[in-house]
């Protein structure tokens, strides 16, 4: 008997380009995804959607359908948490303003680190660190390289030990908004808010359940159940959490650069049965019977 096969879909809803901390340009990323059989991709750079137009331009040639994406930084109980926004309206003025605010938050932190370190070591450090970041907002690794370059320390380890590590002058917490704020931004822009890589926060199961239920109460709709580098135990735990909280399930590689065997575009453990995939709830649902 000849059973018609549905077109096989391969969905990756979390990855990074050079628009944030990935190494590929958005176009290169989409080409790589297409070559690896990804049919639906969300580019989710940290706190920016600057890569989306270039990715969209490369999509049809690569045979990839793009879903609007971003990964927003925020805090919950003073811990940094990542929330992936999917399928939002990129034209939303309020959303674009919120993203501009996230960009300012990064610069405010960079300036604070620079001011504190300039007091104890070298002047002009912000410029040096910015150059290390290729003109973008420098983070602590860029400050570490700038300190090496200016001869203040012999290597990056020493830079962290003396100036940037926990309790040192350059140990400045990020100025991120609370989790309910970023969930609100995504939701009001018509998107779906997904809690990124829940196991990466190294929380106890009890604390993670508390985070997930706060996230859901603030309008969060999904969690990443399948992501790179998880054990099968993690997958089962997150699937159960997802079911229990009545959330949608998402999946993504969190790809940043080629060559890491544990993390490749489209290489994702399938979601366990009995979960409701987030992509069935996009404005243009993906992969459902007939779609
Ligand atoms: Mn990253
Ligand atoms: Mn993340
Ligand atoms: Mn990520």
User: Angle at Cα 180 formed by Cα 178 and Cα 185, nearest 5°?
Assistant: 100
> What span, in angstroms and rounded, lies between the C-alpha atoms of 267 and 261?
10
**Rounded-to-integer distance, Cα 175 and Cα 267, Å:** 33
First-residue to last-residue Cα distance in the chain: 23
pLDDT above 60: residue 38: yes
Per-residue pLDDT of 195-207, as tens digits, reads 999 999 999 999 9
Residue 78: Cβ-neighbour burial (10 angstroms; 0-12, 13-18, 19+): exposed
For residue 265, is pLDDT > 70?
yes
Mean pLDDT to the nearest integer, 76-86: 95
Q: Which residue has the tokens 């020493």?
A: 158
Which residues partner with 255 through β-bridges?
15
pLDDT computed for residue 5 by the predictor: 58
Q: How many other β-carbons are positioned within 10 Å of the β-carbon of residue 43? A: 31
Distance 16 CA to ligand 1 centre (A): 7
What pLDDT does 67 receive? 98
Query: Which ligand places an atom closest to the C-alpha of 257?
Result: 1
Q: Please say if the pLDDT value at position 7 is more than 80.
A: no
141 part of a folded domain = yes
Does 289 have pLDDT greater than 60? no
pLDDT of 54 higher than 50: yes
- Which ligand is nearest the CA of 19, by number? 1
Average pLDDT, the chain: 93
- State the ligand closest to the CA atom of 196: 2
Q: Is the pTM of this model over 0.85?
A: yes
**Res. 10: pLDDT tops 60:** yes
CA of 241 to the centre of ligand 2 (A): 19
| Ligand nearest to the Cα of 44, by number | 3
Q: Do the domain assignments include residue 262?
A: no
Distance 197 CA to ligand 2 centre (A): 7
Residue 90 in any domain: the answer is no
Query: Does 286 map to a domain?
Result: no
Do 53 and 285 meet the contact criterion of CB atoms below 8 Å apart?
no
The verdict on residue 154 lying in a domain is yes
**Ligand 1: distance of its center to the CA of 1 in Å?**
48
pLDDT attached to residue 1: 52
Its sign, for the CA torsion 81, 82, 85, 91, is positive
pLDDT of residue 2: 57
Arithmetic mean of pLDDT, 30-58: 97
Q: Is the pLDDT of residue 290 over 70?
A: no
Q: How confident is the model at residue 291 (pLDDT cuts 50, 70, 90)?
A: very low
The count of structural domains within the chain is 1
In a domain, 140, yes or no: yes
Which 3-state string (H, E, C) describes the chain? Answer: CCCCCCCCCCEECCECCCCCCCCCCHHHHHHHHHHCCCCEEECCCECCCCCHHHHHHHHHHHCCEEECEEEEEEEECCEEEEEEEECCCCCCHHHHHHHHHHHHHHHHHHHHHHHHHHHHCCCCHHHHHHHHCCCCCCCHHHHHHHHHHCCCCCCHHHHHHHHHCCCCCCCCCCCCCEHHHHHHHHHHCCCEEEECCHHHHCCCHHHHHHHHHHHHHCCCCEEEEEECCCCHHHHHHHHHHHHHCCCEEEEECCECCCCCCCCCCCCCCCCCCCCCEHHHHCCCCCCCCCC
Cα–Cα distance for residue pair 40/36, rounded to 1 Å: 11
Q: Which ligand is nearest to the CA of 255?
A: 3
The answer to the question of residue 97 being in a domain is no
Q: What is the pLDDT of residues 211-251, one digit of tens each?
A: 999 999 999 999 999 999 999 899 999 999 999 999 999 99
Highest mean pLDDT of the ranges 1-10, 130-139, 170-179: 170-179
Write the CATH number for 155.
Answer: 1.10.150.650
Question: pLDDT band at 6, cuts 50/70/90?
Answer: low
Q: How far is the CA of 198 from the centre of ligand 2 (A)?
A: 9
**Spacing, Cα 60 to ligand 1 middle (Å):** 26
Residue 67 CA from chain centroid, whole number? 14
User: pLDDT band at residue 8, thresholds of 50, 70 and 90?
Assistant: confident
Provide the pLDDT for residue 287. Answer: 79
- Model confidence pLDDT, tens digit, residues 95-141: 999 999 999 998 999 999 999 998 888 888 999 999 998 888 898 99
Is pLDDT larger for residue 24 or for residue 122?
A: 24
Question: For residue 4, is pLDDT > 80?
Answer: no
Residue 276 lies in a domain: no
Domain residues for the domain of 148 are 107-164
């Amino acid at each position: 008997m000849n059973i018609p096969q549905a077109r096989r879909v391969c969905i990756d809803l979390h990855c990074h380009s050079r628009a944030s901390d990935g190494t590929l340009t958005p176009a290169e990323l989409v080409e790589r995804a297409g070559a690896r059989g990804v049919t639906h991709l969300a580019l989710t750079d940290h706190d920016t959607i600057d890569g989306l137009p270039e990715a969209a331009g490369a999509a049809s040639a690569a045979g990839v359908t793009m879903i609007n994406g971003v990964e927003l930084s925020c805090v919950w109980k003073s811990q940094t948490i990542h929330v992936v926004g999917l399928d939002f309206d990129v034209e939303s003025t309020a959303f674009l303003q919120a993203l501009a605010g996230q960009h300012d938050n990064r610069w405010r932190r960079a300036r604070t680190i620079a001011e504190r370190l300039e007091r104890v070591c070298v002047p002009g450090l912000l410029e040096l660190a910015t150059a290390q970041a290729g003109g973008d907002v420098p983070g602590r690794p860029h400050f570490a390289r700038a300190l090496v370059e200016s001869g203040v320390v012999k290597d990056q380890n020493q830079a962290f030990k003396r100036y940037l590590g926990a309790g040192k002058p350059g140990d400045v917490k990020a100025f991120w908004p609370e989790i309910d704020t970023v969930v609100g931004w995504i939701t009001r822009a018509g998107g779906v808010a997904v809690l990124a890589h829940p196991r990466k926060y190294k929380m106890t199961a009890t604390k993670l359940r508390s985070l997930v239920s706060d996230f859901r109460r603030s309008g969060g709709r999904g969690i990443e159940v399948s992501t790179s580098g998880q054990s099968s135990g993690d997958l089962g735990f997150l699937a159960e959490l997802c079911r229990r909280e009545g959330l949608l399930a998402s999946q993504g590689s969190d790809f940043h650069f080629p060559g890491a065997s544990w993390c490749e575009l489209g290489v994702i453990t399938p979601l366990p049965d009995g979960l409701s995939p987030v992509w069935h709830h996009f404005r243009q649902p993906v992969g459902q019977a007939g779609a």
